[in-house]
């Protein structure tokens, strides 16, 4: 069964010190997960205050927590690229 996850789940996977990280890792070990491009865009807004290699971070996250289609994956990666280029 595939489980739909939201922004909090992505934060738990991405952050080293998130209080939900252990639970998220347990879900990843037991279930297939999927999310929406909107959850990834919310993550981009949350991480705005911190310095990251966003393209690399999001590409890695998309491997762990995919979106529903390749088209949605490209939307996320393009949005992150635009964000890094200052086109917000």
State the total domains in the chain: 1
pTM of this prediction? 0.86
In tens, the pLDDT along 25-68 reads 999 999 999 999 999 999 998 888 777 888 899 999 999 999 99
Is residue 20 over pLDDT 80? yes
- Compare 88 and 15 and report the one with higher pLDDT: 15
pLDDT over 70 percentage in the chain:
99
- Domain ranges, residue 25: 2-84
Produce one character per residue of 52-78: b if its CB has 16 or more CB atoms within 10 Å, e if not: eebeeebeebbeebbbeeeebbebbbe
């Amino acid at each position: 069964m595939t489980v739909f996850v939201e922004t909090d789940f992505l934060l738990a996977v991405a952050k080293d010190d998130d209080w939900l990280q252990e639970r998220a890792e347990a879900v990843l070990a037991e279930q297939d997960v999927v999310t929406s491009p909107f959850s990834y865009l919310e993550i981009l807004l949350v991480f705005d205050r911190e310095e990251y290699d966003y393209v690399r971070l999001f590409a890695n996250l998309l491997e762990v927590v995919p979106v529903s289609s390749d088209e949605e994956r490209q939307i996320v990666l393009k949005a992150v690229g635009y964000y890094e280029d200052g086109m917000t």
